[in-house]
Structure 1
Amino acid sequence: MNGRDGGFRGATGTAAVLTGLGAWLPPRRVTNDDLCARLDTSDEWIRERIGIAERRLAAPDVSTGDMAVEAAARAMASAGVDAVDALLVATSSPDHPCPATAPWVAHRLGLPQVAAFDIAAGCSGFVHACAVAAGLIASGAARRVLVVGAETMSAMVDPDDRATAPIFGDGAGAAVFEADSPHAEGALGPVVWGSDGSLADAIVVPAGGARGRHERAGAPQGDFFVHMRGNEVFRHAVRRMTHAAREAAARAGWRIDEVDRLIAHQANLRINLAVADALGIPADQVPSNIRDVGNTAAASVPLLLADACDKGELKPGHKVLLVSFGSGLAWAATTLVWPAGLAPDCENPAPPLFQGPPMTFEQVKEILTTKGGLPAAPIAPDASLASANIDSMALVVLSMQVEEGTGVEVSEDVLAQAATVAELAELVGRYAEPRA
């Protein structure tokens, strides 16, 4: 399992081959100047120490699962597939402590009853999840696995902490892996991974878990956010990533000078340049997007893969070395030869999660009046539900008619979130779920 056997290979020599990539970033950009307006820091300090100019932050009503759905749908479109055997979500910021986020993501993607679970390995989670996907494929338990790295780090970071607020951003990236020959381009190579729990508190959210739960009510508010010993993390990140990357390349039969691209977790630009220098890989062979998106934790490696591929920095035949490091402490590295024909989907809107025409205001009004028995006069696009006499029973009628007419299930509780009648139509398209 640690790569000493040359990687994850099934009895018939089956390997996990990368066939699709997807990415999604929240539209809201927060620049260093935005942070400097309320924190005791400067744009120059953030750029020099971390390498970040701006980061993306999700809207308050957008969760890790929401972003995972967007990236996953794009990855499946990139791979040209509409079904998978398993779905893994790597995250440190799940929608809930329980249940896992992955089953909900699978449901939203129209993948009923597929095996789905979360992987919590901090910023190294995506590469860990890729290793698990390779194992599932090698064992024959799955032929196609969707791996997602998604994070709402803004939910875990104290916005008033100058040590952590400038670092993290939100986003999601995803990849599809399919069973194929270990000699195929895109096949994951040997995996080198490990952990050091003696440094579990180097990156930690102290409160909110089972440990210390008897003190939860009295815990300082700051203990519910990420705490990090930056200098210590820096040293261990450089040391562990360098060793794991070198070992993964060696087990793949590669000399370091044969590596065309180093794809490293985007924690800190100086960390990645130090790792590249220690390995002897030129800086121009180390793609980076941290300047524009920040540290997106488990989402960082797939986001960088999609970004580098989209920009033409990853070309068919390139020998690519992947390495990551994060809380736990945990780290992982692997290899692949970049496949031809891979086109990441990171700009276009995600494919629809269900088939059927969108609901218009006129259709909503017709249903409410003819089926719900409501008077037509108060039902205007900008009218509130209350002023339009739309109560919970009317929403039940609407949801049933939508399901009957389009085959799409939408909960009346979801419809009740609309502020106006016009938003009802939008919510049907935004939250509708395919029937199992």
Structure 2
Amino acid sequence: MPFALFLLGVAVFAQGTSEFMLSGLVPDIARDLGVSVPSAGALTSAFALGMVAGAPLMAGLARRWSRRGALLGFLAVFLAVHVVGAVTDCFTVLVATRVVGALANAGFLAVALVTAVGMVGPEAGGRATSTLLGGVTLACVVGVPAGALLGQLWGWRAAFWAVALLSLPAVVAVARSVPAGAADSGRPSLRAELRSLRNPRLRVALLLGALVNAATFCTFTYLAPLVTQVTGLGSGWVPVVLALFGAGSFLGVAVGGRLADRRPGAVLTGGGGALCLGWAAFALAAGTPAVALGLVLVQGALSFGVGSTLISQALRTASDAPTLSGGFATAAFNVGAALGPWLGGTAIGAGLGYRSPVWVSAALVAVALLTAGLAARRNRRAPGCRTRASWPA
């Protein structure tokens, strides 16, 4: 893998830390700003909604700029809004900073995904995607627990300042590692790229990605209260639990990236089935600390292994949309990131307890498996249509 690809991962690490760190800060934000825990959890959904809207819009806008210029511009905006978020006392302003930061993050990730695959070619697209997303999993392993620890020591605002500081070396890394290039004037027209969404394989791949990511974020957003209120561990265990999930996600991306280019169907069907069963087991065993901690690690690995494979499949299926393919994948996965916390918060708000988001996660993956099965069955029945080996049959 090119060294520049790893440097892009530095920026993704800073942004992933911001996106995920609220899972360890939700109770503190709720208490400090005088809102409910589900309302504070909605900050994750606000970020995800910004990613959903921003991914295709920012990717389309970035067609006018060089890829390095686009990446640097998005990073600068991302840094600035975290400074604002760190100093505000208004929950509404904090929500607005999350949305604007998400727009910048969405644009960066959409361009970075296309840039990463372009560095290595489609035959190694799965490994390139997983390498870039390694920054996200590293954020789960290091950034998110560190953010939770900072929140416990100096308040949740310290975590926002830390993300702003992390973004500075990311700016330098992108400026030095990504070639200036030129604007994508030779690419297909924007309308032509949007027509790729008519591809039923692409639509199903994006839907599966949204469902799997919704399951991931549904539980991940409420891990802190789950651990303290159901598992019975003290608040000091929250960074440990987040680190376990992050370690599992790093392992899942590493293994999934190696298999995504060779046996994606096996990863998606086998991993998806195990993921569904794992969420159900987690819901049942959440009150047993040793079992719960082990399942946090396993579910992190399965969630990101299956998720990263779906991203690479979406990028491959949208090969006729070289500029917007990253935007499509980013938007779909953040539809899930917005839906998951909302569903989990709704279940908690209905009085179903802190186990309920885990059951919702299991149901979402079950729907994804059913959708994949129905799509594969329809493809096999279609006259003159042969299911490709890469399809999750």
Q: Do these two structures clear the TM 0.5 threshold for a shared fold by scoring above it? A: no
Higher share of residues assigned helix: 2
Q: Which one has the bigger strand percentage?
A: 1
TM-score by length of 2: 0.31
